[in-house]
Structure 1
Amino acid sequence: MSLRTRLTLLFTAIVSLLLALFCGFLYQLAEGYRERQFQERLRAEASTAGQLLLSQERIDPALYKVLDKNHLTVLPEEEIIIYNSRNRLVYESGTDYLTITPNHLDQIRQDRQVAWRESNRQIVGILFTNHQLPFVIVASAVDSYGQRTVANLGQLLGLGWCVMIGLTGLAGWFFAGRMLRPISQINQQIDNITVSNLSLRLSEGSHRDEINQLAQRFNRMLNRLEEAFRLQRSFVSSASHELRTPLTAITGQVEVALLADDEPEELRATLRSILEDVRGLNRMVNGLLSLANASVDISTVPMGLVQLDTLLDQIRLELKRIQPEYTIDLRIDSPNMPVSPATWQLKGNETLLRTAILNLLDNGGKFSPDHTVQVQLSRRGATICVTVHNTGSVIDQDQQTLIFNPFQRGRNAGSQPGHGIGLALTERIIRLHQGQIQVDSSAEAGTTFTVILPH
């Protein structure tokens, strides 16, 4: 069932229910008004009978019967009965439509006025006092005219309800179609968006409503998808290019070794060269895998408490073991608060943070002329900052944002070995931890990478 049909049915059902309640209320209101008006007429008939038959200026009962039957305002099937204090019948109009029980008489004497119904007949009993003698006068009749009027009103309301429901259904169908037309247009536009033309966008319209917000959010999602596809194509292209170079070198060396009749020492030199290329290729593949792992959703990464000061000291020792010629100067600033192990704790993934900081320290030592890196750990309010400083070559201003893209290396890299993966991996890991990484580079101050992580 289409959304338009569901909206039409729901709209019609709600309106039909409200109309039914309104018509029922009107019908009950009219019926109650008819019943109260007829009861007033019966009370008037009973009071008139008492005045004419029981007062000092009474008339003959036979004459009253004649007058009552020929009266222009006589009620349909009217009957008047009068009882004295001993429950003896004093007067009866003679139609014999009604039977009064002693219980009814006692209730009338107690309440002085009682009204009830028997089938379609309405009955009113009053207590009439004449010369301190109590009489019970009961008047009853059938309000045939009023009942027909109310019945006709009920039929009219029912017919009007049916007509209005039909009109409501048609109006709802037209209204739902008009309201869903922008969604239909969005569906048509979405069908035209494919992988080959991700640059297409939905028309947002001029109305600031939910449909406009939906189109805006969908366009923003398309922007992110297009950027992701662009990065993926760039990543695949760059990775293919970077992998092709060592593979070509390895292939060429193996082919030359197979064709040439070299001495064992020359073959060993060729194998050492191939081994070095394979190691570089292995480092690149590991970097690509780490870069892919750092691009996953944060909810899939196991997080725990990381003692950052201890982690920095471990990284310093690890890098010193790998690169003995590097000098790592680690300094931990004392914050303006009581120092405890919790001062340098943060929530994160220790393995990923180790990789990110190790890349920064390795880059600092690689590009520093004396292979010296200065590392500083400090607190800034609710954040923890790690700065990595070296005095190497300057990173140009226009290159300071590009170096965080995969396979992008600054012009200062020169002949230094690398594939442009380390900083991209570091930036994604820091962003995964809801942190920031900044770079400042000048000929006077050197190059400083600042990592800001939430405490």
Structure 2
Amino acid sequence: MTIRTRMTVLFLGIFSILLLIFSAIIYFESEIYRQEEYKTRLRQEALTAATIIFNKNEISPDLLKLLDKNNVTALNQEEIIIYDVDNKVIYESGSDSTNLKHDILDQIRQEKELFWKENNLEMYGIVIKNNNKEYIVLASSVDKYGLQKQRNLALTLGFSALILVCVSAVTGWIFARRMLLPIQQMINKIDKIRASQLNLRLDEGNKADELEQLSIRFNQMLDRLESAFQTQRSFVSHASHELRTPLTAITGQIQVSLLANDNPADLKLMIQSVLDDVQQLNKLTNNLLDLTSIDADDTKFRHFLVNVLEIIWQIRTELLKKNPDYQILINLDDATDLMPEVKGDESLLYTALINLIENGAKFSPNHQVEINIKIENQALIIAFHNEGSVIPFNELNQIFEPFKRGSNARNTKGHGVGLSLTRRIVQLHKGQISVVSSKEEGTIFTLLLPK
């Protein structure tokens, strides 16, 4: 069942129930009023008959019957019966005797007056005292016109309710259609959105109601998806290029060595060159795998208390073994008690720190990088300073994008993946990374990690 049908059925059900309750209240209120009115008329007839019968100026019963039949106010099928103290009929206006059970007569004597209904015949009994004796005067009649009015009212209410239900069904269907028209338009627009047409957006209207708020959220989701698709395309394109370059170089060198008759020394140099390319390729592959694994799921990493200073010293030792010409200086802030511990993933923090330290030493002319560590506002702040070429101001934010390198790095080996991986790791640890570069101060990468 569609939402439109459900809304129509729900609207129709609620309206029908309310209409039924309203009609029932009108009918039963009218019936109660009719009974009260007719009860009053029967009471008047009973009192009138009793007054005439028990009048000191006696009137013959036959004359009284004649008066009852010719009275212009006589009710339909009216009958007056008077019972004495022994429940014997002492007067009856009609020829059709109404046989009452003694328990009803006893109830009338107990309650002094009683109104009840038998089939269409409505009856009223009252106790009248005369000469210290209690008589029961019973008046009965059929409210022909009142019951006919009630039947007409019931038919009127029934037909009116049926017509209103039909009208409400049509109007409810139209109303539901108009209410759901924006959703249908959204569905039609969404059907047109493809991977090749992610630039399409839903109409946001005046941004007032809930459906337009939903359109805004959906457009925001499309913005994120489009950005992710563009990043993925760019990533695949750049990754393919970066992987193809070392593979082509390795293939060319091996082919040349197979064709040439080189001496062992030249062959050794070629093998060393191939090894360097393979190492670069291996490093690039590992960085790409780390970057994609972090982007795919950042909830699987477990955070423990990690001593950042120990990791930095470990990195320094390993880099100096591979590159003895590197100069890695570590300065600690003595102004405060330094406890360089943060909650995080040790292997990821190692990757981020070694990228920053190695880049600082690699891009510095004298291969020197200075690391300053301090604690400020419950945050561990690590600054990596080098005297390398100045990064242009308009490129400072781009160098953190995958495969984006500054113009100062054209003559330096690299693939532009390390800094993007570092930023993603820092974000995963709820930290911040920034960079400033000038001729006066050099280049400073500042890493902030919450303690």
What's the CA shift string for 1:92-145, capped at 9, x where partnerless? 333546433332233323332322222333222222233443222232222232
Match in the other structure for 1:373: 370
Within-5 A mapping of 1:83-102: 83-96=83-96, 98-102=98-102
What residue identity is the alignment partner of 2:381? V
Structure 1 partner of 2:382: 387
Q: CA 1:448–1:128 in structure 2 vs 1: closer, same or farther (change >3 Å)?
A: farther
Cα offset, 1:31, TM superposition: 1.9
Q: Give 1:34 deviation, angstroms.
A: 1.8
What do the CA deviations read for 1:404-423 (whole angstroms, capped 9, x no partner)? 10011123335333211111
Which residue is 2:395 aligned to? 399
Does the residue aligned with 1:116 lie in a helix, a strand or coil? strand
Structure 1 SS opposite 2:295: coil
Query: For residues 327 and 17 of structure 1, do their structure 2 counterparts lie closer, same or farther at Cα, with a shift above 3 Å needed?
Result: same
Distance in 2 (CA, whole Å) between partners of 1:268 and 1:97 is 139
Alignment correspondent of 1:269: 269
SS in 2 for 1:62: helix
Tell me: CA distance 1:415–1:28, structure 2 relative to 1, closer, same or farther (3 Å): same
Aligned residues: 444
Asked if the contact 2:356–2:419 (Cα under 8 Å) also holds between the matched residues in 1, the reply is yes
Report the equivalent of 1:257. Answer: 257
- How much does 1:256 deviate? 0.8
For 1:228-307, list aligned pairs within 5 A. 228-298=228-298, 300-304=299-303, 306-307=304-305
Work out the CA distance in 1 between the residues paired with 2:249 and 2:191: 46
1:151 alignment counterpart: 151
Give yes or no for contact 1:364–1:388 (8 Å, CA) kept in 2: no
Pair 57,318 (structure 1): closer, same or farther in 2 beyond 3 Å = farther
Any idea what the Cα deviations from partners look like across 1:143-190, whole Å, max 9, x if unmatched? 232222111111111111221122122222222222333333333332
Does 444-453 or 398-407 show the bigger shift? Answer: 444-453
Asked if 1:431 is matched to 2:432, the reply is no
Query: Which residue matches 2:330?
Result: 329
Secondary structure class of the residue paired with 2:360: helix
Secondary structure of 1:137's match? strand
Change (3 A) 1:117 1:361: farther
Change (3 A) 1:229 1:69: same
1:375–1:389 contact (8 Å) kept in structure 2: yes
Structure 2 residue ranges without an equivalent (≥5): 321-325
Given the alignment of the two structures, is residue 422 of structure 1 paired with residue 418 of structure 2, yes or no?
yes
Q: Given the superposition, is the C-alpha separation of residues 350 and 67 from structure 1 closer, same or farther in structure 2, using an over 3 Å criterion?
A: farther
Amino acid at match of 1:427: R
User: Is the CA contact 1:80–1:137 (under 8 Å) kept in the aligned structure 2?
Assistant: yes
Q: Residues 72-151 of structure 1 correspond to what in structure 2 (within 5 A)?
A: 72-96=72-96, 98-151=98-151
Shift of 1:330: 5.7
Of stretches 158-167 and 401-410 in structure 1, the one that deviates more from structure 2 is 158-167
3-state SS of paired residue (2:296): coil
Change over 3 Å in CA distance of 1:437–1:207 after alignment to 2 = closer
What value does the CA root-mean-square deviation take over the aligned residues?
A: 2.8
What CA distance in whole angstroms lies between the structure 2 residues aligned with 1:434 and 1:57? 113
State whether structure 2 residue 216 is matched by structure 1 residue 197: no
Is 1:80–1:93's contact at 8 Å kept on the other side of the alignment? yes
Q: 27-36 or 101-110: which moved more? A: 101-110
SS in 2 for 1:266: helix
Q: 1:54 to 1:404 in 2, by over 3 A?
A: farther
| Alpha-carbon distance, 1:207 to partner | 6.4
> Cα distance, 1:370 vs. partner?
5.0
Length-normalised TM-score, structure 2: 0.88
Alpha carbons 1:114, 1:124 under 8 Å: kept:
yes
1:146 corresponds to which letter in structure 2?
G
| C-alpha contact 1:360 1:388 (8 A) present in aligned 2 | no
| TM-superposed deviation, 1:379 | 4.5
Q: Is it true that 1:410 corresponds to 2:411 in the alignment?
A: no
- Per-residue CA deviation, residues 360-392 of structure 1 (Å, 9 max, x unaligned), is 3333343444533324242526xx343223133
Distance of 2:371 and 2:65 partners within structure 1 = 125
Q: CA deviation at 1:302?
A: 3.8
Give the aligned partner of residue 224 of structure 2.
224
Deviation string, structure 1 residues 306-328 (Cα, Å, up to 9, x no partner) = 324x2x03311330232124535
Alignment of 1:5-24 (within 5 A): 5-24=5-24
Alignment partners' CA distance in 2, 1:107 and 1:353: 99
Normalised to the residue count of structure 1, the TM-score between the two structures is: 0.87
Tell me if structure 1 keeps the 8 A contact 2:342–2:449. no
Residues 115 and 244 of structure 1, relative CA distance in 2, 3 Å threshold: same
Counterparts of 1:405 and 1:58, CA distance in 2:
122
Contact 2:385 2:445 in 1 (8 A): no
Q: In 2, Cα distance between the equivalents of 1:194 and 1:157?
A: 56
